[in-house]
Structure 1
Amino acid sequence: MTYAVAALVDIDDFMVSEQGRGRSWAHRQLQHADQAVRAATSRRPGATCQPQPPEEWLVLLTGADPEALMSDATALAEEVRARIVRETAWTATVSLGSPSVGSIAAERDARRVNGYKLVLGGDRVIEPQSGGRVAATPPVRIERELTRRVRAGDSNGAAGLLASWVDRCAQDADPQTLRDWLIGQLLFVVDVANRSRLADGSTDWVVTCARLPIEDIITVGDIHERSYLHMWLRETLGRLMPEPPRRDVLALAEAYIAEQYTDPGLRLATVAEAVNASPFYISHLFAAERRTTFLRHLTGLRLRHARRLLSTSTLPVDAIATRTGYASAKALRSAFGRHVGCSPTEYRRTGFRPGA
């Protein structure tokens, strides 16, 4: 009897790197990767290599001895992975199926094994996996924080929270269980974000499914790489969640900072919690709408207050530091030197007017 073993060669983080570096760069790297896979395969008599665009190759080996065939496939997988690392800017994962009767069954098993990349990570050879599903309860629950971010319309924050949750849960689940958990969380997001309710307060799923891209949620079953999953989460939650006007959230943040900037312990996380948004989202708004950062905005408020007190009062510098949100006179002097160009004492004496 003739057996077949399939090795599925999969470039790690392909879509993320293509998006970041550009298609031309990715195309050149793919050419190098193709040469690497073919060079390794050509050294194995009877081995065939079939490109699976854009970033996969299916290598098939056949033989009569399943143990010898598996050993040869493992050696080939290690060689292919090493060549890709050496000859391209990428890493690769090679997933090996079990010896099977027929190439179709061999490929099917290799793709099943490739699903474990979602939980094991890339840059490795993944050998045939077996075993049943694990416990049905995720080890970490995030529904309370997820609800807060969804109701704030913070799709980026919700996507980041889900991505971190997937990373934490991956070590406790097989791929299918992890996907089931994630689909459950995505349906939870839809339920929280949804405004179509029945008389008893429950979600009107008939209206919801007609309006929202529920079918997109199901496509998570085709994802086997966490970097792409993170990107997919950002895109999908952006469609699932209605986002409130960005300027409203920023205005709330600025108003809170204006009230609290004299507190030396004021932090971005404190502001984000106060306005029911994520720190990442607040930072994004400051950059997009104000072309500045949270810290620069906060420093500006504190220094304006300090300059006013230096010009209109006789308070000592340490007292002014306390009243303007600095933990010490030294901290105030440091901020003055960096942003104003003189010390508080010099500013008080001259008003920092050239020639004064």
Structure 2
Amino acid sequence: MLKNSRVFRRFLTSYLIILIIPSIAGYMSYRTSIEVTQSVSIENSVTQLEKAQEILEQRMAEVAGFTRQLGLNRELNVLMNENPGADKTNVYGIWQVMTDNMAFTQINDFLQNFYIYLKNYNVVLTQGTAYFRPEHFYLDSRYNDVTFEEWKKNILDKTHNSEITPLGDFTYKKTPQSKVITYMQSLPLGTYSSTSPAVVVVIIDEKIIANLLSGLIERYGGWTHISDAEGHTISEKGIDDKAIAKLSADSHFDKGKVSQFYGDDLVITTRSKTNGWVYRAGIPKASLMENANKIKYISWLVTGVALLIGLLAGLVLSYRNSVPINRLLSVMKDQFGKEEIVGRNEYDFLQGNIAKIITNNKRLETELNRQFPLIRDAFLKRLIAGEFQTRDETTAAASQADTGLNLNTGYVGILQIQGYSGMDSVEILNELSAARLILKQVLLDFGSHIQMTDLGADRIVTLFTISDGEAGKTLERNEIAAILEKLMQYIFYEYKITITAALGEPFSSVMEVSRSFEQARQALEYAVYVNKKGILWFSDSQMESATYYYPIDMELRLISTIRVGDIDEAKRIVLSIITQNTENRELSVEMKHQLIGELKGTLLKLLDQKAFLESTIFENVKNRIIGIQENEAIELIKREIDGIMEALCGIITSKKNDVHLKTVEQINQYISEMYGDADLNLYRIAEQVERPEKYISQLFKEVTGTNLSDHLEKVRMDHAAALLSTNQYNVDEIALRVGYNSSHSFRRAFKRVWGVSPSSYRQSVD
């Protein structure tokens, strides 16, 4: 029995060792999961803070852009340079400036409260009110700790250049006190004297700024704080200045770190490169580690249960596996010691479990093969997006996706299917999906070394590389161009699909794939911008930053032309502007966006006219103007602007239509009565309606779309066809009855209108 017990203990020891090894591995995996979860949570929080910072800086840039645009405002510049007398005030100009700037409050919520101070008039202009005495404005809107004299001296009578004051208490029209920051800019731009003709002051509520960072607090709780380069508070939520001062003064707190644990919080810090503002967010460690704690609790529970079950299983298995050996020993003793023979094969247990493992492995292999296309697609999307941090991580993911390609050299391209821009109906999307599948299949047929993934509904990202078996070979640019040209020809002639191809510079490392993709994306955007078809390489795209062409006199001409309803001239002016900026200049995308923004601004100015404000389609036209997207192709933008101008000119010309329609009705009535008169002509008709011949000819064409002479001929031929159907008169008599002295002329006119001779027509009717 003692020997049997020793064999049992040896088996049990082996099982315990086997049980401890995966437990150690599980513990390491648990620690790794905790660290990864914590790292991901911190990374997400940093990203969220950086996005909020980016949005805030963009809003502040829009505020600065707004002040620069005011500096270019013609009416405001006129007011600044006027010398008003005691009885001479440019009330209309002041009203016009107030009206022009009301729309800015709808574009950026940072511009909800701003005012303009004109020194020569000593007037404060707001969005809806003009204060001809600054004292009156101060009574409505003032800083609680600043006297009127201090406010006038430091803000109104001082020159400012994009200055921002720290957070301060502010009361607006007797509403509850709020905290604001103030952005100040003197006009005209570039003023360096001690005083300036005008000052633009934008009051930004701290609550609006704090809302940009509310996502962090709503998700985790905690606090946020923004300070300027000098340490003055811009916005704070969930924390006060005393706590921030204590944090900054603590030597254990490293101000240079992006993220660090301080007390019970994770403190995230970013600094703006543009204005030096410091953004901080404090996230409770307990909230941040909530997911990690769940993993921790589940891991300990699973590990404890597994150890307990493993120990019990070890006892059972040790006993079961020791039994055959003990029996074998008994047999040996029986053979040599004359003992009873008892036998059982210990490998029965192993045989059954190995068979099960093999079956499960085959099932898993089949499932992996079925999932390979999805894995490859997900890998390619992450690769071009630059989500992989290290080469080893990328190599491991590529091996898992089994791409079979050498990703250390090649090109990234984007293929865009043409003809579907701006269309999103179900039928169009189905057709586009079919076209995309056809294009991908043709790409596979053209080259096995091409990998691809979808990029939106009408774009495909392609990786042109070489296979692993061709290591050392390089893929030349002309080879790719030949493949693409062949592809374009084939897919157009076979399926009538037109594509544009944009390619980035070659990548020489797997970590450069995202860079090549970004270059391809920029090249495609440039191709859309200049309406280029075919193949475009990034190196061939010329993204120059020339200023756009849109002088003030051209804008005034466009406004005047639309006001009189001359749509053709308006389109010619817009075409001239587009031509000047696309054929004679190479605009950058940013300059193109600004040009389109100026054109939208011109159209919005026109809507302030009474004729448009009273129109039933005012809101529709306004929404169309606002809805113009600057990143669309220039041809699509021009088409939309032309449509908007047609609507505006239609409003102007609609008032003329009643008179025009009455004139056309007179003409039709007179022709229907006098068509049988052979002497009926344009002069007789013009005499009847008391209008010039040229006028009625042009008017009839514009209203009906038909020339007046063609209409008269059509009326005569309709009556002739009716008479031919009766068999009451011969052809010569019908010709006289419908106004033709010559039967030959009548026959030619009848065949021209009906396509057959009068005799053939009569026979077909019979």
TM-score by length of 2: 0.30
Residues 530 and 633, structure 2, Cα contact 8 Å, conserved in 1: no
Using a 3 Å threshold, how does the CA distance of structure 1 residues 9 and 86 change in structure 2: closer, same or farther?
Answer: same
Partner of 2:658: 251
Q: 1:262 to 1:32 in 2, by over 3 A?
A: same
1:29 partner amino acid: A
Partner of 1:14: 420
* 2:5 pairs with 1:5: no
**Whole-angstrom distance in 2 between the partners of 1:52 and 1:13:** 16
* Contact 1:12 1:92 (C-alpha < 8 Å) held by counterparts: yes
CA distance change for structure 1 residues 43 and 271 in 2, over 3 Å: closer, same or farther? farther
Distance 1:187 1:84 in 2: 42
Which amino acid in structure 2 is aligned with residue 172 of structure 1? N
1:73 Cα deviation from its structure 2 partner: 4.0
- Post-superposition offset of 1:301: 5.5
* 1:103 CA drift (Å): 2.8
**Aligned 8 A contact 1:114 1:224 in 2:** no
Could you say what secondary structure the match of 2:682 adopts? coil
Task: Give the match's secondary structure for 1:102.
Answer: helix
Distance in 2, matches of 1:31 and 1:234, equals: 35
Residues 1:82 and 2:82 are matched in the alignment? no
Question: Displacement of 1:213 after TM fit?
Answer: 5.8
2:601 corresponds to 1:192: no
Equivalents in 2 of 1:338, 1:31: separation in Å? Answer: 50
Structure showing greater Rg: 2
Which segment is superposed worse, 28-37 or 161-170? Answer: 161-170
Q: Where does residue 546 of structure 2 map in the other structure?
A: 134
Question: Is 1:295 aligned to 2:735, yes or no?
Answer: no
For residues 269 and 144 of structure 1, the distance between their equivalents in structure 2, rounded to whole angstroms, comes to: 29
Aligned to 1:60: 463
Report what 2:448 is aligned to. Answer: 43
In structure 2, the CA distance between the partners of 1:84 and 1:152, relative to structure 1 (3 Å rule), is same
Q: Which residue in 1 is equivalent to 2:520?
A: 110
Q: Does residue 152 of the first structure (1) align with residue 152 of the second (2)?
A: no
Pair 164,53 (structure 1): closer, same or farther in 2 beyond 3 Å: farther
Residue identity matched to 1:95: A
C-alpha distance in 2, partners of 1:160/1:25? 36
- Contact 1:9-1:94 at 8 Å conserved across structures: yes
Matched, 1:224 2:625: no
Unaligned runs of 5+ in 1: 197-207, 287-293, 306-316, 322-329, 342-356
Q: Which amino acid aligns with 2:603?
A: V
* Counterpart position of 1:30: 436
TM-fit CA distance, 1:95: 1.0
SS at match of 2:496: coil
Distance 1:118 1:25, change over 3 A: closer
After superposition, the Cα gap between the structure-2 partners of 1:25 and 1:246, relative to the gap in structure 1 and judged at 3 Å, is: farther
Q: Distance in 1 between matches of 2:696 and 2:479?
A: 55
**Residue identity in the other structure for 1:181:** L
TM-score, reference length from structure 1: 0.57
* 2:697 and 2:708 in contact (8 A); partners too: no
Distance 2:642 2:479 in 1: 41
Q: Would the aligned equivalents of 1:153 and 1:242 in 2 still touch at CA under 8 Å? A: yes
Q: Find the residue that maps to 2:603 and give its secondary structure.
A: helix
| 2:443 aligned counterpart, secondary structure | helix
Corresponding residue of 2:506:
99
Cα separation, partners in 2 of 1:136 and 1:337, compared to 1, 3 Å: same
Q: Give the Å deviation of 1:52.
A: 1.6
Corresponding residue SS for 1:182: helix
In structure 2, C-alpha distance between the alignment counterparts of 1:266 and 1:14, rounded to whole Å: 44
Checking the alignment, whether the CA contact within 8 Å between 1:85 and 1:91 is kept in structure 2 is: yes
Amino acid at match of 2:493: R
Higher relative contact order (CA 8 A, sep 6+): 1
Distance 1:13 1:145, change over 3 A: same
Deviation of 1:3 after TM superposition, in Å, equals 5.7
SS at match of 1:136: coil
Specify whether residues 338 and 215 from structure 1 end up closer, same or farther in structure 2 by C-alpha distance, changes over 3 A only.
closer
On the 8 A contact 1:134/1:174 being kept in 2, the answer is yes
Counterpart for residue 106 of structure 2: none
Q: How is 1:319-330 mapped onto 2 (pairs within 5 angstroms)?
A: none
- Matched residue type, 2:454: P
**Structure 2: which 5+ residue stretches go unaligned?**
1-390, 392-407, 611-618, 668-680, 686-692, 717-735, 756-766
Give aligned-pair identity as a percent: 10
Alpha-carbon deviations, 1:33-76, whole Å to 9, x = none? 23223433x432xx4211123111111346899x9554454344
> Against the structure 1 CA distance between its residues 133 and 14, is the aligned structure 2 distance closer, same or farther, given a 3 Å change threshold?
same
Q: Give the deviation of 1:183 after TM superposition.
A: 3.2
Letter in 1 for 2:452: C
**Alignment-mate amino acid for residue 633 of structure 2:** H
| Contact 1:69-1:99 at 8 Å conserved across structures | no
Helix, strand or coil at the partner of 2:454: strand
> Per-residue deviation at 1:125?
0.4
Paired with 2:521 and 2:697, the residues of 1 have a C-alpha distance of 42
Q: Secondary structure at the match of 1:58?
A: strand
Q: Residue in 2 aligned with 1:308? A: none
Q: In structure 1, what is the Cα distance between the partners aligned to 2:505 and 2:527? A: 16
Cα drift, residue 80 of structure 1: 3.6
Compared with structure 1, are the counterparts of its residues 195 and 82 closer, same or farther at alpha carbon in structure 2 (3 Å cutoff)? same
Residue identity opposite 1:183 in structure 2: G
- Match of 2:544, as an amino acid? G
Partner of residue 201, structure 1: none
Deviations 1:127-182 (CA, angstroms, capped at 9, x unpaired) = 2223523353269x68636743465396x996797468646753223352444433
Say whether the 8 Å CA contact 1:9–1:92 is kept in structure 2: yes
Q: CA RMSD in A?
A: 5.6
The residue type equivalent to 2:627 in the other structure is D
Deviations 1:257-291 (A, max 9, x none): 668x927985999549x9xxxx6xx5xxx4xxxxx
How far apart, in 1, do the equivalents of 2:642 and 2:625 lie?
A: 15
Q: Report the equivalent of 1:312.
A: none
SS state at 1:295 partner: coil
- Aligned equivalent of 1:204: none
Alignment CA distance shift 1:195-1:142 (3 Å): closer
Mapped partners of 2:518, 2:544: distance in 1: 18
Q: Distance in 2 between matches of 1:54 and 1:150?
A: 41
CA 1:78–1:192 in structure 2 vs 1: closer, same or farther (change >3 Å)? same
> Post-superposition shift, 1:104?
2.6
Q: Contact 2:549–2:577 (CA<8 Å) still a contact in 1? A: no
Q: Alignment length, in residue pairs?
A: 292
List per-residue Cα deviations over 1:293-344 (Å, max 9, x = no partner): x216664368879xxxxxxxxxxx9xx99xxxxxxxx999965775699xxx
Separation of aligned partners in 2, 1:61 and 1:33: 15
Alignment partners' CA distance in 2, 1:27 and 1:268: 52
Q: In 2, are the aligned partners of 1:73 and 1:96 still within 8 Å (CA)?
A: no
Tell me if structure 2 keeps the 8 A contact 1:7–1:94: yes
Contact 1:95-1:113 at 8 Å conserved across structures? yes
Flag the 1:304–1:192 CA change in 2: closer, same or farther, 3 A: same
